[in-house]
Chains A and B, each alone.
Chain A
Amino acid sequence: MQMGAVGYALKPTTRERLKQVFEKLEGKFTQAVKKVLLVEDDALQRESVVHLIDDEDIEITAVESGQEAIDMLCTTIFDCMIMDLKLPDMQGSELLERMSREPICCFPPVIVYTGRNLTRDEEQELLKYSRTIIIKGARSPERLLDEVTLFLHKVESQLSSERQSMLASVRSRDKVLDGRRVLLVDDDVRNIFALTGVLEQKGALVEVARDGLEAIAKLDEIHDIDLVLMDVMMPVMDGLEATRRIRADGRFNKLPIIALTAKAMRDDQEQCLNAGASDYLAKPIDIDRLYSLLRVWMPSLERL
């Protein structure tokens, strides 16, 4: 997904530094103006956001409805999109979903700016398309400005790296993971983004569960999971307990489970193995080591 490419590097701290970056880019690219699409039905809110982020090198297009937003996205490349969830003609989630399948020019980084609290499921659903969700409140304007600033100055390097990664993925498609289904059990958004990215780049199909209970439910529901990556420290049910329960089920006695542990203690690693994990990998995860472990543990294809 395009949105998965939103990284964490490069953080400007001050307006001055941001200005410098823009000046640099201006020299390099003819089009230095950044285009922001704002989707907000409330006129007052719309004005206040425009006022907040307006700058000489930012061009803001404000629309009121989801349909207008899609029309704009079909004709113009935007560097960033800010959207309210409550729109007159459709829900914000529907707009995002339509953006993902309709022929728009480019799926921009999306900042969801909403007045209401979200359930965990709603949040998870939105995080498929948007890394940034801001709940409106006393300090939200400050955070919105901060996030917009971040996206706008990252755009150039991000676009180019997106192209690069497209090329890279053609070259490095690893047959071992190609088309294999991996269940990633982790509650950390950052890990999910990062690991899903590297696994999908190798052609793997990634299913995500956020805790042990969800993992067990996923295994029941999806029958062709080839391997499980299991974080140890999770809410509701931790990785050790989940691994024990999965192993207790006769269907899964050969399923490779790799525990992801933040602990350096040998004890902890032994605990993972005692719980039934096939192997373990220490965090922070070294991608090369992950690949080699996956290569070792991925069951050879009998289905083909």
Chain B
Amino acid sequence: METGSIEIELELLMQAIYLKYSYDFRNYAGASLKRRVLHAQQEMGCSSISALQAKVVHDPNAFTALLQFLTVPTTEMFRDPAYFLALREQVIPFLKTYPSLKIWVAGCSTGEELYSMAILLHEEGLLERSIIYATDINPKSLELARKGIFALERVRSYGANYRAAGGTGSLTDYYTAAYEGALFNRELCENITFADHSLATDSVFAETHLVCCRNVMIYFNRELQERALGLFYESLCRRGFLGLGSKETIEFSPYANRFEALVRAQRIYRKI
């Protein structure tokens, strides 16, 4: 059966990647992973997944290329403005009671969400006393996030999101436009620590007050989702906050009774 062999090839590829590069995609959700791998196979000019595997195992550059397909950064600034508005109105007032803050943006990808968070904290007067950990497994994405340069055309379209998210200024205050690119102010990055960290294999590194991990766990299978939630639970301080993506929830997971919903519609939870 044709489909059966694809599943086998997929599993072998993931095992090979894990053994060779310690990147663990073995517990990623099957359907989307398959789609991404098949897309990569085509783009990288391989006749089968097995051929792709052979290439990747022998050539680290090919693996780097494949990684870009496996961790597709699909993100925008102030995505789901209602989520950011809820953070601003319902979470920030609590965060203001702490003399210093740690915030973990897990799976930060190319940084759109991260810069949105930094702008929000800046406007609420909290950025200076915050340390933000921005983690991802894709070094290219991290590098882009660190640079903070986005396509100008796209950034212009984020203005509406920003305003709907309760922005108090203008998004243009935060970047310099040049050559079709928008460079975000370096001050926003001063307290951001960028780091390579995998929710699949690594452990907790700091006690945090807020963890944001949006649209990352949708690519995980149940087992890996639980592992990630476990890390967030362990990292969060007592009564700390967790923000997830619009299609993600902790309900139905073993952590359901360890968090309470603060703004259920926006997937904002609070550790009990």
| A139: B residues at CB distance < 8 A | 93-94, 96-97
Q: Is A98's beta carbon under 8 Å from chain B?
A: no
A120-B100, A139-B93, A234-B193 known; A284-B198 Cβ under 8 A: no
Interface residue SS majority, chain B: loop
Cβ B93 vs Cβ A138 within 8 A = yes
Judged by a CB distance under 8 angstroms, whether A265 is at the interface is yes
Query: Which residue from B22, B204, B206 sits with its C-beta under 8 Å from A267?
Result: B22
The total of interchain contacts (Cβ-Cβ below 8 angstroms) comes to 95
In the bound complex, residues from chain B placing their C-beta under 8 Å from that of A13 are: 272
* A264 B206 Cβ-Cβ under 8 A: no
Within 8 A of A (CB), among B220-272: 234, 237-239, 272
Docked pose: A120 CA to B98 CA in angstroms:
12
> Is A117 in the interface zone, CB < 8 Å from B?
yes
Chain A contacts with B in 247-273, Cβ cutoff 8 A: 262-267
Nearest CB of B to A96, in Å: 15
Q: Are A137 and B203 in contact (CB under 8 A)?
A: no
- Taking A282-B203, A283-B203 as contacts, is the C-beta distance between A143 and B97 under 8 angstroms? yes
CA distance A55 to B120 in the complex (A): 38
Contact check, A188 vs B272: say whether CB atoms are below 8 A apart. no
* Bound Cα distance A217, B139 (Å): 31
Q: In the bound complex, do residue B206 and residue A263 qualify as a contact, i.e. CB atoms below 8 Å apart?
A: no
Give the size category of A's interface with B: 35 or more
B206, A188: Cβ atoms under 8 Å? yes
Residues of B within 8 A of A232 (CB): 205
Known: A11-B238, A133-B99, A143-B94. A233 touches B205 (CB 8 A): yes
Q: Smallest CB-CB separation from B195: which chain A residue?
A: A233
Contact residues, B193-211 vs A (CB, 8 A):
193, 195-198, 201-207
**Per-position 1/0 for A201-237, Cβ under 8 A of B:** 0000000000000000000000000000001111100
One digit per residue, 1 when the CB lies within 8 angstroms of any chain A CB and 0 when it does not, for chain B 92-122 equals: 0110111110100000000000000000000
Q: Do B203 and A284 touch across chains, with their CB atoms under 8 A apart?
A: yes
Q: Does B62 contact A (CB under 8 A)?
A: no
Using A188-B205, A262-B202, A263-B198 as known contacts, say yes or no to A135 and B97 having CB atoms under 8 A apart: yes
> How far does the alpha carbon of A54 sit from the alpha carbon of B205 in the complex, in Å?
38
B17 at the interface (CB under 8 A from A): no
Query: How close is B138's CB to chain A, nearest CB, in angstroms?
Result: 14
A191 to B208, CA, bound (A): 12
When C-beta atoms are compared, the residue in chain B nearest to A126 turns out to be B99
A265 and B97 contact, Cβ closer than 8 Å, known pairs A188-B207, A235-B131, A284-B204: no
Nearest A residue to B238, CB-CB: A11
Q: Does A190 contact B (CB under 8 A)?
A: yes
Decide if B201 touches A263 in the complex (CB within 8 Å). yes
Give, as a whole number of angstroms, the nearest-CB distance from B130 to chain A. Answer: 10
Query: What residues of chain B lie closer than 8 Å to A29, measured between beta carbons?
Result: none
> Which residues of the partner chain B approach A123 to less than 8 Å between Cβ atoms?
99-100
Return the CB mask of B76-105 against A: 1 if under 8 Å, else 0: 000000000000000001101111101000
**C-alpha gap A122/B206 in the complex (Å):** 21
Q: With an 8 A cutoff between CB atoms, is B191 at the interface?
A: yes
A residues whose Cβ falls under 8 Å from a Cβ of B: 8, 11, 13, 117-118, 120, 122-123, 126, 133-140, 142-143, 146, 150, 187-191, 231-235, 238, 262-267, 282-284
A-B contact pairs, 18 of them (CB 8 A): A11-B238, A120-B100, A120-B129, A134-B97, A139-B96, A140-B97, A146-B239, A187-B131, A188-B102, A190-B237, A191-B206, A231-B205, A234-B193, A235-B191, A262-B205, A264-B201, A267-B22, A282-B203
In the complex, besides A143-B97, A264-B203, 12 extra interface pairs with C-beta distance below 8 angstroms are A118-B99, A120-B129, A123-B100, A137-B93, A188-B102, A191-B206, A262-B203, A265-B22, A266-B22, A283-B204, A283-B205, A284-B234
